[in-house]
Amino acid sequence: MADFFQFEADFVDTLRCIPMQVRYKLDTCGIKLKLPHWNQFNVSERQQLVEMPCTTAAEIQAYRSRLQQMVQVHTGELPADLLVESHPWLEAKAIPESVQTQAESVGCSISLTEWANLSPLQRFALIKLSRSQHENKNFLPALQEFGLA
């Protein structure tokens, strides 16, 4: 999974911000990575976190271990654990309320069929962008990129 979204285009060349695909993996492996930690990593370490698989139980554990090691090497501390929730982005039969509310606020509606046709990473992005106050500006561009607006 080395897909970047168009709404991330202003930072993917340098990976100065944490891209959605890495945030997806963080939520999968249960690590809360702060931007200051991310900024301690060099570009090749950031790229490694982009490219490392994080799907199977073994990959998730390996990703978690590698990330903890990287943070500890650079900061002297371990990253905080993140409560691993039910992964609503994997659920194609129910649109989270935060996504529906945010879509309505920008004059859009998403049908269950449209939601089901999105990839889990696209659903994850919309969920994150609908919850995050500082990134709400990317919600409408994401809807447009995904063909929903």
- Position 1 in a domain: no
Task: State pTM to two decimals.
Answer: 0.90
Please tell me whether residues 74 and 22 are part of one structural domain.
yes
Which range marks the domain in which residue 108 is found? Answer: 88-145
Cα separation, 67 vs 59, in Å, equals 12
Tell me, what's the pLDDT at 47? 93
How far is residue 87's CA from residue 25's CA, in Å, rounded to a whole number? Answer: 11
- Close Cβ partners of 102 (under 8 Å, ≥ 6 residues apart): 126, 129, 130, 136, 139
Shared domain for 11 and 53, answered yes or no, is yes
User: In Å, how far from its chain's centre is CA 68?
Assistant: 18
Note whether 108 and 143 are within 8 A (CB): yes
Same domain, 77 and 92: no
pLDDT for residue 133 = 67
What is the CA angle 83-89-91, rounded to 5?
Answer: 110
Assess whether 139 and 119 both reside in one domain: yes
97 plus 47 within the same structural domain: no
- What is the reported pLDDT for 57? 94
Same domain for 60 and 32? yes
Q: What is the pLDDT along the chain (149 residues), one digit of tens a residue?
A: 457 899 998 887 888 899 999 999 999 999 999 999 999 999 999 999 999 999 999 999 999 999 999 999 999 999 999 887 778 899 999 999 999 999 999 999 999 999 999 999 999 999 999 986 666 789 999 999 999 98
Alpha helix ranges (H) inside 30-119: 35-40, 43-51, 57-75, 97-105, 112-117
Give strand pairing partners of 80: 32
Please give the tally of structural domains in the chain.
Answer: 2
Residue 1's pLDDT is: 45
Torsion angle (degrees, nearest 10) of CA 59, 60, 64, 65: -40
| Bridge partners of residue 32, in order along the sequence | 80
Contact 5, 145 (CB under 8 A): yes
